[in-house]
Chains A and B, each alone.
Chain A
Amino acid sequence: MDLTRVDEIIAKHHGEASSLIQILLEIQSENSWLPKEVMERISQELQVPLTRVHHISTFYKAFSLVPKGRHEVHICMGTACHVRGATRVLDAVQDLTGIKPGETDLELKFSLETVNCLGCCALGPVLEIDGKTYGKMTPVETKNVLQSYE
């Protein structure tokens, strides 16, 4: 990520240390992860110790310290989805992408994450890719869906 863009975001928040989380969130949503240089820059500009930036960026699950894939796959592991076979959907996705929950593949195509409820239990098991919801998934269906992403 371009450090001048980071400076812009910091300037937007008037370089205030109390805006640390807001700044991190904005960079996270633009860049999808927080590179080391970016955190060092923020620490410098806001006069916040780097250890605190690390503490906060590792504390909240909203932040990622590793690059994310182009497509974020969320598999619902909530109770309803679980009893309708979410584990089989998860297995299918793991087999097809070769990554486990929390990981990103080498081509930066998919990042896999399990979530606990997406709020549409009637559609379970539910798979969500980049915010688009796929309901009533089966392992075969899962394969078709994943193959439609580049």
Chain B
Amino acid sequence: MSEIRLTIDGREVKASDGMTLLEAAQAAGIHIPTICHHEKLEPFGGCRLCIVELEEKGWSRLVVSCVYPAENNLVVHTRSAKVDRIRKTILELLLAHAPDAFDLQDLAKEYGADKDRFEKEASFCIHCGLCVRYCAEVKKKNAVGFIDRGIRKEISFVPEIALKECWDCKECFPLCPTEALQAAYVLTRALAGHLLEKEPAQPKA
């Protein structure tokens, strides 16, 4: 495995082939804020919060660090004024959907984001995809998925699978940054409860 050398925030950092910028920064102890990132899951690039600035030949360019492969001689800035401004706006947009999410509020404080900047549209889900991807990639149950698209996109449990698998798992619950997932699950159970009664009781092993 070849070694890659790059500069992050003025520090010389070593990374190995196939690592993303985010992983390289984390390995060097440099913090980049993330929402949709999870170490067990494939990079998603959904929340864009881990955006960083690359400096090349006098130009600067913005990339999303969780899906950008580390390369030799990159010069990366994780907290430039431009990056901070973009993160602030992203947080403000997310807060319009989930104003009470603790993770978002903490980040908002750090970046000076105003949660009332945009009109509230409380969908609560911010489409980070953590639950959907965790269920598919780690648990391989596919009990929850995305449906529809654009502004109508939302997470949705498949009732038949959810009633069978979710009660004893719920591993996705702590992943959700906004608790929209828990609400979706409770709703599914409430609406699909009649399916549960129809099934014969499982004999205890």
Which residues of A are interface residues toward B (Cβ below 8 A)?
49-52, 54-55, 58-59
Residues of A within 8 A of B132 (CB): 51
Check A54–B145 contact: CB distance below 8 A: yes
Residues of B within 8 A of A59 (CB): 148-149
Check A51–B148 contact: CB distance below 8 A: no
B34 at the interface (CB under 8 A from A): no
Check B142–A58 contact: CB distance below 8 A: no
Check B149–A50 contact: CB distance below 8 A: no
Check A49–B136 contact: CB distance below 8 A: yes
Pick from A50, A52, A58: contact of B148, CB below 8 A. Answer: A58
B62 at the interface (CB under 8 A from A): no
Residues of B within 8 A of A54 (CB): 145, 147, 156, 158
Which chain A residue has the least Cβ–Cβ distance from B147?
A58
How many Cβ-Cβ contacts under 8 Å join chain A to chain B? 30
Which residues of B are interface residues toward A (Cβ below 8 A)?
132, 136, 142-149, 156, 158, 161
By secondary structure, the A interface counts as helix
Query: Counting chain B CB atoms within 10 Å of each CB, which of A50, A58, A59 scores highest?
Result: A58
Check A49–B148 contact: CB distance below 8 A: no
Check A49–B149 contact: CB distance below 8 A: no
The distance in angstroms between the C-alpha atoms of A55 and B149, with both chains bound, is: 9
Check A50–B158 contact: CB distance below 8 A: yes
Residues of B within 8 A of A49 (CB): 136, 142, 145
Check A50–B147 contact: CB distance below 8 A: no
Which chain B residue has the least Cβ–Cβ distance from A48?
B142
The distance in angstroms between the C-alpha atoms of A58 and B147, with both chains bound, is: 6
Residues of B within 8 A of A58 (CB): 147-149
Check B161–A50 contact: CB distance below 8 A: yes
Which chain A residue has the least Cβ–Cβ distance from B154?
A58
Check A51–B145 contact: CB distance below 8 A: yes
Query: Counting chain A CB atoms within 10 Å of each CB, which of B147, B148, B156, B161 scores highest?
Result: B147
Which chain A residue has the least Cβ–Cβ distance from B141?
A49
